[in-house]
Amino acid sequence: MSEFVTTSNGDRVAYDRRGDGPALIFVAGAGPWREIDPDTTRTAELLAERGVTTIVYDRVGRGESATGGVITLERELAAIEALIGVVGGRAALCGHSSGCSISLRAAVDGLPVAALALWEAPLAPPNSGAREWADEVNRWIDAGENAAALDEYMKDMPPEILDVVRSIPAMVEQAPSLRPDGESLAWAESAPHAQLFGGIRVPVLTMVGEATYDIMTPAAESITAAIPGASWKPMPGSEHSWEPEAMAAELAAFVHATHAADPAASATTATITATATN
């Protein structure tokens, strides 16, 4: 059964919590919510078996996190902050696709992020057109043309993927939730990555699927070069999706290692334990 938390902006965010131990929050990319994302749910279940507290949530404006008004990047970051509070005040983030740029922004903005695990961050070099593209997506959203906004957002994806996405009515209805994705990607392209991300001082692991799109490996290399101590690696996965068993094993090792090295870890663990027993 879903749990709910209310953000500082008043959004009611639905989530599933599993397991005990250091915390990891999954930050979805453009479009998915829990009901249509079984791979993330399965990964969270496997992580819970490996001693990790997991949070899988419906992003603002999706699934059971329905809302109104303009869904800004700030509202999405407030959701992450509220969910970090649910697990004791400190958590690793696992971003998927544009969820990576949202997660990076959370760390840069000073949210209590313990580590970043980034799956297939689709980040282009500076000034490659993301600002103009995001503005066009937002223009369609503001006009109430959700189908056109979704088409614009997905315009560089293979046509067969767009056909699948367009066949899901809720994906069109929830197109206003794409604004934070576009805004975070435009931000991630607004300057060299070393300038944007160079101040991040938490462990960062960037991963790409063994069969992936051309943009993903250069992006992983750029993120790694920008953040001191960051690393990247190929993982089992294709078509922008990971394999839950392999991903859970990798994330469990990453979360436990970073937790052990985190000077704030003992306080967070104590808070989680106290919350779980009350």
pLDDT on residue 166: 83
pLDDT on residue 32: 95
**Beta bridge pairs of residue 5:** 13
Kindly state the average pLDDT of the residues 237-245. Answer: 93
pLDDT on residue 266: 53
pLDDT more than 70, % of the chain: 95
What domains are defined for the chain?
A: 3-124+191-277 (3.40.50.1820)
pLDDT on residue 105: 98
Is residue 225 over pLDDT 60?
Answer: yes
Integer CA distances (angstroms), 84 to 18, 20, 80, 164, in order: 14, 14, 6, 33
CA distance 190 to 115: 23
Average pLDDT, the chain: 94
Helix axes 73-86, 98-108, angle to 10 degrees: 70
Kindly state the average pLDDT of the residues 53-62. Answer: 98
CB-based contact 219:121 (threshold 8 Å): yes
CA distance 151 to 130: 15
- For residues 275 and 55, the model is more confident at 55
- For residues 76 and 268, the model is more confident at 76
pLDDT on residue 157: 78
Is residue 239 over pLDDT 70?
Answer: yes
Integer CA distances (angstroms), 141 to 71, 136, 173, in order: 10, 9, 11
The SS3 call for residue 246 is helix
Reported as a single tens digit per residue, the pLDDT across 172-214 is 999 999 999 999 999 999 999 999 999 999 999 999 999 988 9
pLDDT on residue 268: 47
Given pLDDT bands bounded at 50, 70 and 90, which one contains residue 267?
Answer: low
Asked which of 95-99, 149-153, 164-168 is least confident by mean pLDDT, the reply is 164-168
- The percent of the chain in helix, strand and coil, each rounded to the nearest 5, is 50, 20, 35
pLDDT on residue 164: 82
